[in-house]
Amino acid sequence: MTTASPPPAVLGTQPEPAARAPRRTRTRSWSGWLFIGPFMAVFALVFLAPIAYSIYLSFFRNQLVGGNGFVGLANYAQVLQDSQFWSSLIRVVLFLAVQVPVMLLIALLVALALDSGRLYGKSFFRISIFLPYAVPAVVASLMWGFMYGTRFGLVGNINSAFGINLPNPLSPDLILASIGNIVTWEFIGYNMLIFYSALSVIPKSLHEAAEIDGASQFRLVTAIKLPAIRGAMVVASIFSVIGSFQLFNEPAILQSLAPNSISTYFTPNLYAYSLSFSGQQYNYSATVAIVMGIITMVIAYAVQLRGMRKES
């Protein structure tokens, strides 16, 4: 950040700074703190304090019988051996591996189509594809939940109208795919917008130069557009990684419709929630959250490193 330094410092001659430096730094640091003080106070209160408190909580165990006691790293040892936690993690990793590529690919195709300039009614498509993002996730999940219903829902209607027997989207085998479908529907527009805005800042002169050289549309995409938006693709991937690991709303809402398909440890977040709010295991829940936070950070960082290396 820039600070208001006194004019002599700028105008001063070479030999002087050594002598003057201490005083100048002190003035600087004080005025600097004055500027960032309010931010730091809020930052400490709303970001650092909850993290510190959660870490503090994770070293204790509060029992119905026996009360609260310091247990050191026992909670962490328990998480590492907790098959429910790992099954939930594997589930979101599977979700990540399938849903995110599909979603980003569709978003990319749509963005390229919009950017090609050959689409009639471009703004109509742009807005309607983006619209699901404006629907709150809770409403979207409820809406899809009703459509998935095999008795009174859309699936049920199709079954009775055509006399067929579609598999139940809310059954344990299909529930993850059904949730993936909801999430894809919700976030294609959002990712499309990231790609589209990255595409629209590519200088037109590049396109024109390529066309003069006789490049096909396909070549234009692979040689100019895709390399130019790699940064945006990395950002979108990282958001999606974080989003997948935090999967909560959709399964939490659908749980009431399909209690046997969505367990209380379906995703790591749902598990932390159940531990905390049904099980009163705040300490263990904090531990699960911290471990999950670290895993998310590591993976997001790995994606970023990989993406950036390609770019350079």
Partner 1 sequence: MKKRIAPAVLRGSALAFAATLALTACGGGGSDAGGSADAGNADDVAAALEEGGELTVWAWDLTVQDVADEFEELHPNVDVKVVNAGTGNDQYTALQNAIAAGDGVPDVAQIEYFALPQFAIADSLTDISGLGAGDLEGTFSPGPWNAVQQGEGIYGLPMDAGPMVMYYNTEVFEKFGVEIPATWDEYIEAARTIHEADPDVYITNDTGDAGFTTSLIWQAGGKPYQVDGTDVTVDFSDEGSTKFAETWQELVDGELVAPINSWTDEWYQGLGDGTIATLNTGAWMPGNFESGVQAGAGKWRVAPLPQWEEGGTATAENGGSSLAIPSATENAALAYAFLDYASVADGVQTRIDGGAFPSTTEDLASEEFLNREFEYFGGQKANELFAESAENVVEGWSYLPFQVYANSIFNDTVGQSYVSDAPLTEGLKAWQDATIQYGSDQGFTVSE
> Which residues inside 45-84 make contact with partner 1, applying CB under 8 A?
47, 50-51, 53-54, 57, 60, 62-68
Cβ closest to partner 1, residue 27 vs residue 246? 246
* Residue 61 β-bridge partners: 69
| Binders of partner 1 in range 92-131 (CB under 8 A) | none
User: Which listed range, 14-22, 199-207, 216-224, 230-238, lies at the site for partner 1 (CB under 8 A)?
Assistant: 230-238
Cα dihedral across residues 36, 41, 46, 52: positive or negative: positive
In the list 192, 198, 199, 247, the residue contacting partner 1 (rule: CB under 8 A) is 247
Rounded to whole angstroms, the Cα distance separating 94 from 88 reads 10
Residue 278 in the binding site for partner 1 (CB under 8 A): yes
How many residues bind partner 1 (CB under 8 A)? The answer is: 71
For residue 75 the two structure tokens come to: 């909670």
Rounded to whole angstroms, the Cα distance separating 264 from 275 reads 9
- CB of residue 65 to partner 1, shortest distance in Å: 3
Cβ closest to partner 1, residue 155 vs residue 257? 257
Cβ closest to partner 1, residue 126 vs residue 191? 191
Q: How far is CA 263 from the centre of its chain?
A: 22
Cβ closest to partner 1, residue 43 vs residue 124? 43
User: Which listed range, 2-10, 197-205, 213-221, 247-255, lies at the site for partner 1 (CB under 8 A)?
Assistant: 247-255
Q: x-or-dash pattern for partner 1, window 11-50, by CB under 8 A?
A: ------------------------------------x--x
Query: 43 near 265, Cβ under 8 Å?
Result: no
User: Which listed range, 6-14, 207-215, 222-230, 235-243, lies at the site for partner 1 (CB under 8 A)?
Assistant: 235-243
Rounded to whole angstroms, the Cα distance separating 7 from 152 reads 76
- CB of residue 76 to partner 1, shortest distance in Å: 14
Please give the C-alpha separations between residue 42 and each of 2, 38, 48, 106, 230, in angstroms, as whole numbers: 21, 6, 9, 39, 34
- CB of residue 179 to partner 1, shortest distance in Å: 10
In the list 155, 198, 199, 289, the residue contacting partner 1 (rule: CB under 8 A) is 289
Residue 196 in the binding site for partner 1 (CB under 8 A): no
Cβ closest to partner 1, residue 110 vs residue 234? 234
Instruction: Considering only CA atoms, give the Rg of the chain.
Output: 26
Which 8-state DSSP code applies to residue 46? Answer: I
- CB of residue 37 to partner 1, shortest distance in Å: 20
In the list 172, 219, 222, 311, the residue contacting partner 1 (rule: CB under 8 A) is 172
User: Which residue in the block uniquely carries the two structure tokens 């030999």?
Assistant: 15
| Binders of partner 1 in range 197-226 (CB under 8 A) | none
| Binders of partner 1 in range 141-170 (CB under 8 A) | 149, 151-152
Q: What angle do CA 270, 93, 140 make, to 5 degrees?
A: 55
Helical H segments across the chain, by residue range: 7-11, 17-43, 49-57, 74-80, 83-115, 122-134, 137-148, 154-162, 175-200, 204-212, 217-220, 226-228, 230-245, 249-254, 268-277, 282-311
Cβ closest to partner 1, residue 115 vs residue 186? 186
